[in-house]
Amino acid sequence: MKVFISWSGEPSRSIASALHGWLGVVVQHVRPWLSDAEIESGTRWNDTLATNLESADFGLVCVTRSNQSAPWLMFESGALAKRLKVARVVPLCIDLEPAEIISPLQSFQSRKLDKEGMRRLVHELREMSDAPKPREDIDRLFEAMWPGLEEQVRLATTQHKRVEGPRRSPDDMLAELVTRVRSLEREGDSAGVLPRHDLRLLYRTAKTLEESVDRLSGLMGTVELLSHTAGRLEHLRNEESELLANSEKDRDRVTASRRLDAELALDVGNRVRHPDFGTGRVVSVEGEGKDQQARILFDNGHQMWVVIRFASLMKLRLDSAIDPSPSQN
């Protein structure tokens, strides 16, 4: 069973290439065909492409927001649709939801390129086999192989800058629904197959859909408000974390300062050493903390007041205070 994989531009090409290798492993009765991988150098590529479009049994179209209206994608999708039943051409939505497709591809049943969308696609392909493998076997193989494809899709979408295409508005989707309802009405009137009460039911359905779109628009506004609020809360949370960090730093500085003050604190009678005047004894102390001053009577008879924090004094232990000078032979 040949599966034709269509692509246009990046990241569509890279993801199509990843699918080409992945699909044949998970659904082993299919033979994926990708022009980028299988048209050999020097061959007439247009003839090869036409031949494989004609012989395909299933079509996958790698769709992004920016390439959904690309002429080449339209050409290959149209060729596949002529060759196959419409249900066998599946657009794979990479960075948009199926409902957001605004090109002619919206007429096909799309799948989101995520885990559940790909699981459904794999089982659809499985059921097209003449001898389908047990569903449980395919599920186990899918669970083992999906993370690899998911990572390749993630890399492709992040490495290749995407041009944002137009997003489909709720009003646009509603307009399409109303157009389809009116088309059904015209077809029913011309064929004489739709009774009036069925038409009224269709109109009520359209009205319900219109109200749903209005609610959706309101929800979108609420989502934007919540997103803004979440951003503000995150900003406040960061500010709070910064304040806490600064508070902890201030607390650490205060603790270190108090520890230093405690180490430098002197009492009357303490023995000290000064780098210039030698050893001496504290005879009086005034003030406290960083402003504490001491009057020192040095052993050489010199006496002076010093600010303890800046005086480079070293408090001597009792055992060193007995003979503070190094012994000389």
CATH code (residue 132)? 3.40.50.11530
> Which helix H or strand E contains 170, and what residues bound it?
helix 170-191
pLDDT bucket at 49, cuts 50 / 70 / 90: confident
201 belongs to a structural domain:
yes
Please answer whether residues 136 and 143 qualify as being in contact, where contact means their C-beta atoms are separated by less than 8 angstroms.
no
Q: Mean pLDDT score of the chain, rounded to an integer?
A: 79
Residue 327 lies in a domain: no
Same domain? 33 vs 135: yes
Q: Do 69 and 117 belong to one domain?
A: yes
Residues 178, 174: Cα–Cα separation, whole Å: 6
Per residue in 294-317, pLDDT (tens digit) is 899 999 888 888 887 777 778 887
Residue 152 shares a structural domain with residue 204: no
Pair (154, 295) in one structural domain: no
pLDDT value of position 218: 65
d(CA 139, CA 101): 29
* 83 and 193 inside one domain: no
Which residue segment(s) compose the domain that 302 sits in? 271-322
Domain match, 21 and 93 both: yes
What is the mean pLDDT of the segment spanning 35-48? Answer: 74
DSSP-derived pairing of the beta strands 31-33 and 2-6: parallel
Instruction: Assess if residue 32 is contained within a domain.
Output: yes
Residue 250, domain member (yes or no): no
Which of 12-21, 186-195, 199-208, 273-282 has the weakest average pLDDT? Answer: 186-195
Comparing CA positions, the residue from 92, 88, 141 lying closest to residue 113 is 92
Kindly state whether residue 240 falls inside one of the protein's structural domains.
Answer: no
Which tokens belong to 126? 């499985």
How many separate domains does the chain show? 3
265: in domain: no
